[in-house]
Amino acid sequence: MGRPVKDLKGQRFGRLFVEGRHSTNKDRRATWAVRCDCGTNKQVIGRNLIRGSTKSCGCLSIEALVRTAKETKPRLKHGMSRTRVYKIWKGMKARCLNPKNSRYKDYGGRGIRVCDRWQEFENFLTDMGEPPEGMSMDRVDNEKGYEPGNCRWATRLEQNNNQRSNYRMAYNGTVKTLSEWARGMGIKKGTLFARIKNGWSISDSLNTPAGGCK
């Protein structure tokens, strides 16, 4: 006769909880019905439970493989770490996510965020493409974050006109920044700003020749 089978019911082995006997094989070859912490039911040979060679339904091995794959995955598989567009992407994230960044207070510090999709460089590159010569990234609405539809490649002039600090004026149904009005009317920006500050009307500010008095 075989040796008595040790009762394993109610015991825990790693992630496996023994719910009861499954078969009546001889001694330690007996199999037991177990439930894994992940919710999987299976049958395991008692000897393997006792020796510790079986500690889960197999999910532990899968998790180990996934973890190893992540740890050994190349950090950059796009080969663009030295390109301008990659540096722009890195700078965007630093301004929004790193409190130690010198520009964080104007971005992350006031609620400007990078959308989930653009947390991955490949998605950012797909949506934005590479910057044309002489252009850099600009947000159309400066109160919104970095996301598709709110970002564009723009010239320095376009970006300056779009700064949230720009003063905008409406005249004859047209809204432009103070800088745009000054260029269009042939007036120095400082002169136009001084006129507005001194209480001149927008019409007088724009239509009075340089050096003229109201």
Q: Does the predicted TM-score (pTM) go above 0.85?
A: no
Tens digits of per-residue pLDDT, 80-117? 888 999 999 999 999 999 999 999 998 999 899 999 99
Q: Give domain limits for the chain.
A: 12-71, 84-161, 168-207
What does the angle CA 202 – CA 204 – CA 207 come to, to the nearest 5 degrees?
105
Q: Report phi then psi at 41, rounded to 5.
A: -100, 140
Please give the single-letter amino acid code of residue 166. Answer: N
What does the angle CA 127 – CA 132 – CA 133 come to, to the nearest 5 degrees?
155
Q: How confident is the model at residue 164 (pLDDT cuts 50, 70, 90)?
A: very low
